[in-house]
Structure 1
Amino acid sequence: MTSLMRFKPGATFMKTSGNTILITGGASGIGRALAEAFHALGNEVVIAGRRREALEQTAAANPGMRMALLDIEDAAGIADFARRLGDDFPALNVVIHNAGIMRPESLRDGALATAEATIATNLLGPIRLTAALLPLLETQAHGAIITVSSGLAFLPLTLTPTYCATKAAIHSYTQSLRYQLRDTPLQVLEIVPPYVQTELMGPEQASDPDAMPLREFIAEVMGILTQSPQTDEICVERVKPLRHAEASGGYAAFFRQFNDGRTAAAKARG
């Protein structure tokens, strides 16, 4: 078993149908695929993000799916968004913190714009939105907070240092949140993706043969949610070498091999 297990008296677990689910970054990539998978199972799904056109296209392709504009970097906007969401969707019981950015950085050039935007989006966004939604979520049955970290939280890709650092922080935050909410009905889950065929780092990633096909990733994630609802960390088989890199021994050699290979691949792509 790849995860810590949640054992507490009277524990309830998230159902895969009959929920009202908010998914940030739900208009593309993993977020859209999760939204479509949950929508197909009979959940009311609300996708949120910055790009109205992308949200509208996704909602139009999935009749009945709802959408809401959200700038996850805007602290004041998050509080207002949560209030509106509670008014419009009082049965909201699940949030999936999927919105994220991943950009290469050179740490020697002194530029901080990418680092600051990445921290605001990937780390502060989920923290702020969780705080804003907790009063509503704690009143709901079978509620859940789901974060999306990364295999790179456990073995960083040095080309994207702040992205990896935010995902490591999300993993740590998720563990603390789970423990602090242990006396509530809320389940706290963490999805740990590997390298997946999305456009997170550009169009070429969506067809990269080294990346896991998105459809396969979502199918495995939904299978884990269905078959092992008590699992705290949702780790597909493909991410386990990264997830357990430290514990499996040989971390330093694996770190060098992994990063040398990714650097060479990036240079080959130009």
Structure 2
Amino acid sequence: MSFPYKNVLLIGATAGIGLALAERMIENGIFVIGVGRRKERLDAFVAKHGADKAAASQFDITEFDKIEAWVKEITTTYPLIDVVIMNSGIQRTLDFTKPTAIDLPRTMQELGTNYTSYLYLITYLLPHLQSLAPKPTALVGVTSGLALVPLPRCGNYCATKAAMHSLLWSIRAQLSYDPLSQHIKVIEILPPAVQTELHSQQKELVAIGEGNIGIPVEQFTDEAWAGLTRGDEEIPVGIVKDRFDVTEEPRRAQFGRIVLAFMGKRK
């Protein structure tokens, strides 16, 4: 099975795994609209690949009051967008043994970027994806293996990814029962630690020699792309695959029973 989508809106495309996924898709003939805050990186992305293969939109997804207007503009400019990949994320150390040292506004930035912004984006982008029926479309969320088993050092990051993981399950179930939305596939990619600036820009990790932890970006991209082209709905990568079914299969079975009880049998 191939990746059936041809026009990708990729949020968080200026670095790391987002940039790697964008470039892999372009290599496979997919037009990518990259979204990010850093204009110079977006300009370099388009210059490298050419305007016939890539476009860019500079936007800060934490400006919640501007998201609705931005979505209207981007879907009007690129009406053929058939898949949205939500990849932006930030990670902070959060140490509750030193509560007086916790910077709550900075910590809340993590919640806004990793979760709240996506509530807005999904709300405003779904009508566009619905309008393309019966053409296959998709909503892709990049969460983390830490959504399944948290890491104490960055508990808030883990919590935001767990919230997104749970939300994607609910959205998938809802859309699968809605005749106007059944053409929308809900996909989740769950990476392990990957060698990107998510870690290298954290002074706390660099100080203890862990600024470059994780698998190479190329390995992540190969495994994630393989899952996308297989048509998988859940794509655990690297070591996350080793614990995925152990943690998720019992929960998935319980969730399936709840969905059936509250939403009825699928027609």
TM over 0.5: yes
Shift of 1:17: 5.1
Instruction: Please say if 1:181 is aligned against 2:179.
Output: no
TM-score norm. by structure 2 comes to 0.81
For residues 198-209 of structure 1, the aligned pairs below 5 Å read 198-202=196-200, 208=212
Q: Distance in 2 between matches of 1:84 and 1:162?
A: 32
Q: Distance in 2 between matches of 1:172 and 1:113?
A: 25
**Residues 72-81 or 161-170, more deviating:** 72-81
Paired residue for 1:219? 222
TM-score norm. by structure 1 comes to 0.80
Question: CA, structure 1 residues 247+191, in 2 after alignment: closer, same or farther (shift >3 Å)?
Answer: closer
Paired residue for 1:239? 240
Letter in 2 for 1:30: I
Q: Could you say what secondary structure the match of 1:181 adopts?
A: helix
**Residues 64-73 or 196-205, more deviating:** 196-205
Q: Could you say what secondary structure the match of 1:72 adopts?
A: coil
Shift of 1:238: 2.2
1:57 to 17, 20, 44: 44
Contact 1:155–1:245 under 8 Å retained in 2: no
Paired residue for 2:56? 67
Contact 2:151–2:158 under 8 Å retained in 1: yes
Q: Distance in 1 between matches of 2:247 and 2:131?
A: 38
Question: CA, structure 1 residues 178+17, in 2 after alignment: closer, same or farther (shift >3 Å)?
Answer: closer
2:77 to 85, 88, 99: 88
Instruction: Please say if 1:123 is aligned against 2:115.
Output: yes
Q: Distance in 1 between matches of 2:10 and 2:248?
A: 32
Shift of 1:67: 0.2
Contact 1:23–1:96 under 8 Å retained in 2: yes
Q: Distance in 2 between matches of 1:119 and 1:211?
A: 23
Instruction: Please say if 1:138 is aligned against 2:130.
Output: yes
Residues 156-191 of structure 1: CA deviation (Å, up to 9, x unaligned): 111111110000000000000101111321000000
Matched positions, count: 232
Shift of 1:87: 1.1
Q: Distance in 2 between matches of 1:164 and 1:82?
A: 28
2:15 to 18, 28, 33: 28
Residues 81-104 of structure 1: CA deviation (Å, up to 9, x unaligned): 101011100111100000110111
Letter in 2 for 1:193: P
Residues 108-127 of structure 1: CA deviation (Å, up to 9, x unaligned): 22431222101110001111
Contact 1:198–1:206 under 8 Å retained in 2: no
Shift of 1:247: 6.8
Contact 1:24–1:98 under 8 Å retained in 2: yes
Contact 1:154–1:245 under 8 Å retained in 2: no
Question: CA, structure 1 residues 243+84, in 2 after alignment: closer, same or farther (shift >3 Å)?
Answer: same
Q: Which runs of no fewer than 5 residues in structure 2 stay unpaired?
A: 250-267
Shift of 1:244: 5.0
Provide the aligned C-alpha RMSD in A: 2.1
Q: Distance in 2 between matches of 1:187 and 1:247?
A: 19
Paired residue for 2:89? 100
Q: Distance in 1 between matches of 2:54 and 2:114?
A: 24
Question: CA, structure 1 residues 181+105, in 2 after alignment: closer, same or farther (shift >3 Å)?
Answer: same
Shift of 1:236: 2.1
Contact 1:59–1:66 under 8 Å retained in 2: yes
Q: Which runs of no fewer than 5 residues in structure 1 stay unpaired?
A: 1-12, 249-270
Contact 2:200–2:211 under 8 Å retained in 1: no
Q: Distance in 1 between matches of 2:157 and 2:243?
A: 15
**Residues 15-24 or 217-226, more deviating:** 15-24
The runs of 4+ residues in structure 1 deviating greater than 6 Å are none
Q: Distance in 2 between matches of 1:242 and 1:61?
A: 38
